[in-house]
Chains A and B, each alone.
Chain A
Amino acid sequence: MRKLGGIKLSHHKNTENCQSVPLPLPAKVCIPMSMHIGAPCEPLVKKGDIVTVGQKIGDTEAFMSAPIHSSVSGKVTAISDYRMSNGRTCKVVEIETDGEQTICPDVKSPEVNDKESFLRAVRESGLVGMGGASFPTHVKLAPKQPVDTLCINAAECEPYITSDYRQMVEAPDEVIDGIVQVMKYLSIEKCVIGIESNKPEAIRILTEKAKTYSGITVSALPCTYPQGAEKVLIYNTLGRIVMEGQLPADQGAIVMNVSSVAFVSRYLKTGMPMISRMVTIDGDAVGKRCNAVVPVGTPVKDVLAFAECDTEKAERLLYGGPMMGVSISSFDDPVIKANNAILAFKKNEPAPKASACIHCGRCISACPLDLMPPDISRAYAAKDVDSLNKLKVMLCMNCGCCTYVCPAKRPVAEINQFAKALVTAQGGK
């Protein structure tokens, strides 16, 4: 069977052998009330309140959301407005740590005995997709459609990032247990763990561990970015095509990130909500490349200081990988739940100037979904929504392969996003 894939990238998995280490407690954390797709939370605390580790500090009535917990014990010093990397503003709770890390009395292993209580527990844990998309997990785990397969996204196809890999080799039992719990409570019979074949150790360990359970298999994926894109992963592991406008559940699958599923296992045992996560710290401006377990809300500058980063020389800071990661504007921005990596790069040569499209077709060959970016660009320039719909621009997942390969250095993927916005604004699908 043909495998979907885009481009070959240099992996730069410099930190794959770096055992995760806890980050020293920061003096202050800033916890945004929106670290997920969906409705932002309202702060449950006010200035001057004393909070403890794992205490819920933000929540909302909305279904499409996930509560937020304090990652430290200390005193709330301010509740202010924060402009997130996507340009929107949300409330942020600033907490000065007291160094005690007193655990909140509410933190106890949840009582789970059926699907309903399981989903309630997942919601209370504050879990969102840890691979970067930050979709609330309790929503994802409650599809209306019947689901037969759990698909675990352990591709980690972005260069540099190794936090999922470290999770798999350091605590594979958490991964397997999390899978077993999800399968049990959602009555799913089958699970496939998709791992890019540049991680043979993870494939070996998980294949070994999965042997004792029926229904769990490991699938080695080709080393072509973007294997971790949901549609690509589902096609390459299950041979199913998620059609336009569909969710994975429409094809009977739920996709979960490997670190997310491991968190489910930890939460069910300890009841400690999502207050920290493993972050890969890398990039050419970083002196000590490492994997650190970072409290949510830690300012990026503290993370970089730990990794001996020369912030004077750093010119570009990324949440996530170089292909789909978000470049941030401030060293004060906090680490959020979906941050699998913080990358800091020195000033490189100036961005190449875009020149005329020479119709080389590299973007078409690179597109994992076989879209035609040159035609999309032309239709967008003409504001031709009808053609954009025919060209299926809404399928574009902004993986960036087209921009990466373009010899004319055109912002191909960016134009696709503009085109999608135009189609949406005109009431398209």
Chain B
Amino acid sequence: MGLLTVSPSPHIRSSMTTQRIMMMVILALVPSIAAGTVFFGPRALILIVFCALVAMFTELVCCALMKKDNTISDGSAMLTGILLALNLPATLPLWQAAIGCIFAIAVVKQLFGGLGCNFANPAITARIFLLLSVGSDMTSWVKPFYYLDAPAWGIFEAAGSNALDGLTGATPLATGDAGLMELFIGNVGGSIGETSALAIIIGGLFLIITKVISPATPIAYLGSLSALMFIQVLVTGGEMTEVLYALLSGGVMLGAFFMATDYVTTPITAKGKIIFGIGCGVLTFVIREFASMPEGCSFSILLMNLLTPYIDKFTRTNPVGARKPEKEATE
């Protein structure tokens, strides 16, 4: 008779692991990766793979330097790299993208303790970092299918190259001149993964159906933004299509389904997720309408990340059978 293992109950575990969750999110991003590659050519795909590799390498180095267990296999670094890439224009120079990835993993994530301890979304924060430091390349958008018109090798060139002359344009969020259908499919200028709402919704629904994310956050985010746009349209007497335009342009879709639902940096409670989503919607609206920036999605999520611990604290569950504190005092 062999030796027996003794351990506390429960003696069975579900098959869900952190790694599997990360892989499911990456799987949910595949439609967006595919759409980005179709619209923005091979350079988009190269940038995505490059960012994923740099992020993973940074994670490896950080863990080694900090003498911590190597956490590269949990897939979170790869996911951060991919998410950041999807937030970048396809023609961003690789060295800039690399700095973004290193900033995301080393500064935003690992310096705060690694997975589970960072308070801000690494991909979002790195995007803002790049936007503030290399703003012109970060807002240089190639037109969809530009690579069909570019000269040979021009399809691999970064922003600023002569090969791309005449192939860039502003994002429709700034110009307001794209059709709604184009916006929905993603056939407009913009960041690699942001333009195709269709691809994002396919991935988002996959995550909701497989219960990886709660639908509360995207519904609250998109719902509150729509409501505010609706009121604005009523007040200013514009067209109702502006509401849809606001939802489909810029980074709102990607933000609502993939950034505002990040486990680590958003509230854990059901009520908290709704508050978080509404906060993002309101801030996005305010920044877009009243600030000097054309896009407010990243900033709104980052600002709400900062409030997350407080939202969690004020939306704690009320356990079944718990007595209210006042009642306790009288007993």
Contact = CB atoms under 8 A, between A and B. Distances in A.
Interface of A: 4, 7, 9, 159, 231, 235, 241-246, 301, 311-318, 322-331, 345, 351-352, 355-362, 364, 368-372, 374-375, 390-392, 395, 398, 400, 403-409, 411, 413-414, 417
Contacts of A323: 9-12
A372 to B, nearest CB: 6
Contact of A326 (B9, B16, B316): B9
Contact of A327 (B11, B71, B321): B11
B67 interface: no
Contact of B318 (A159, A231, A370, A414): A370
Given A322-B11, A358-B115, A372-B316, A407 B2 contact: no
A251 B214 CA distance: 35
Contacts, number: 155
Main secondary structure of the interface of A (DSSP, over half): loop
B251 to A, nearest CB: 23
B96 interface: no
Contact of B12 (A159, A311, A369): A159
A38 B76 CA distance: 49
21 contacts: A4-B320, A7-B14, A9-B12, A244-B322, A246-B321, A313-B2, A316-B5, A324-B9, A325-B11, A328-B4, A352-B17, A355-B71, A358-B18, A358-B116, A359-B268, A360-B263, A391-B316, A392-B322, A407-B16, A407-B21, A417-B8
Contacts of B228: none
Interface residues of B, number: 41
B7 A327 contact: yes
Interface string B49-83: 00000000000000000000001001010000000
Interface in B1-53: 1-14, 16-18, 20-21
Interface of B: 1-14, 16-18, 20-21, 71, 74, 76, 114-117, 214, 263-264, 268-269, 312, 316-323, 325
Contacts of A331: 1, 4
Contacts of B322: 243-244, 392, 395
Given A4-B320, A243-B323, A315-B2, A398 B9 contact: yes
A317 B4 contact: yes
A329 to B, nearest CB: 5
A316 B4 contact: yes
Contacts of B115: 355-356, 358
A356 B112 CA distance: 13
A52 B264 CA distance: 64
Contacts of B316: 372, 375, 391
A403 B5 CA distance: 18
Given A325-B9, A407-B16, 9 more contacts: A231-B321, A243-B323, A311-B2, A327-B5, A355-B74, A372-B268, A403-B13, A405-B14, A414-B8
Contacts of A400: 9-10
B9 A408 contact: no
Contact of A318 (B11, B16, B18, B318): B11
A328 to B, nearest CB: 7
Contacts of A407: 14, 16-18, 20-21
B319 A392 contact: yes
Contacts of B74: 355
A358 B264 contact: yes
A205 B188 CA distance: 66
Contacts of A330: 4
Contacts of B12: 9, 159, 322-323, 404
A360 B115 CA distance: 12
Nearest to A412: B10
A235 to B, nearest CB: 7
B313 to A, nearest CB: 9
A368 B317 CA distance: 12
Contacts of B8: 327, 411, 413-414, 417
Contacts of A360: 21, 263, 268
B330 to A, nearest CB: 14
B321 A359 contact: no
Given A322-B11, A361-B269, A411-B8, A371 B263 contact: no
B320 to A, nearest CB: 4
Contact of A370 (B14, B16, B268, B320): B320
Contacts of A395: 319-322
Contacts of A361: 214, 263, 268-269
